[in-house]
Structure 1
Amino acid sequence: MAYTPQEQHNLDLVQAMFDHVLIPMDADAADRFIAPDYIQHNQWVDTGLEPLKAFLRKVRGENPHAVHDIKRRFADGDHVIVHYHVRRFAGDPGFAVIDIFRVEGDMIVEHWDTVQDVPTDSPNPHSPF
């Protein structure tokens, strides 16, 4: 897929945020990627950077060995979509997650997501990934 230079920049920014913030669950690194007045649509976290950082610290404390396995990424204008598999611990079937980020300049300014448990027993032979 051919992206515009801006879309490629946005993909690279979101990937760097995953590499430095979400995968290691490093709340302190979030300042480099996420705007202070970040708009959050996830219903588990209040809007803004500081509530996100508090959430990341809580999750890291509860699941220090969590894995975020990115399956695919897409860019469309100022939006980046990431589909990935979160596993909290060894043997965890985990969650299928789709994040949508909106980027302005060099910062992520808005986020939406949908999270689904990965079933251990399904009539569908196709993986959610």
Structure 2
Amino acid sequence: MISDPSTLEANKQTVLAFYEAGLRQKNYAAAAKLLGRRYVQHNPLIADGHEGFEAFLAYLNEKFPDLRAEIKHVFAEGDFVIAHVHGVREPGQRGSAIIDIFKLEDGKIVEHWDVIQPIPEESANPNGMF
């Protein structure tokens, strides 16, 4: 298990760069450089591999060109990086709270999981989701 602080920080920076290239700029070529040879996708709506990720970005570009993903927190432990994200598909929407989990090998992203929770209009507490 990775415990070297410089490697953990490098893994976080890889995930942040992946978000910037892939989800903010929707630039598959730039994002793909941060993926390993294999890319296992655990979101049931997205196909495995580089081709699945490329198709997902094309879908986002077509359906949600103004999508915004703001990373609120990022954590690294071992081979994993976890991002706590506020995702908004269209301006004016409340959006969703997202937890993205990435597994890295040799500095490249090789697996992805996510959990997505819509932000409700009203909350039973004053704490917020971020």
2:53 pairs with 1:26: no
Identity over aligned pairs, percent: 37
Structure 1 length-normalised TM = 0.92
More displaced stretch, 23-32 vs 44-53: 23-32
Q: Where do 5+ consecutive residues of structure 1 fail to align?
A: none
Instruction: Report if aligned partners of 1:27, 1:54 keep a CA contact under 8 Å in 2.
Output: no
SS of residue in 2 equivalent to 1:99: strand
Alignment of 1:1-129 (within 5 A): 4-129=5-130
Structure 2 length-normalised TM = 0.92
Q: Which amino acid is 1:59 matched to?
A: L
Q: Which amino acid is 1:97 matched to?
A: I
Where do 4+ consecutive residues of structure 1 move more than 4 Å? none
Q: Which amino acid is 1:33 matched to?
A: L
Q: CA deviation at 1:17?
A: 0.9
Q: CA deviation at 1:35?
A: 2.1
Q: Where do 5+ consecutive residues of structure 2 fail to align?
A: none
Structure-1 separation of matches of 2:96 and 2:27: 20
Indicate the RMSD between aligned Cα atoms, in angstroms: 1.5
More displaced stretch, 119-128 vs 59-68: 119-128
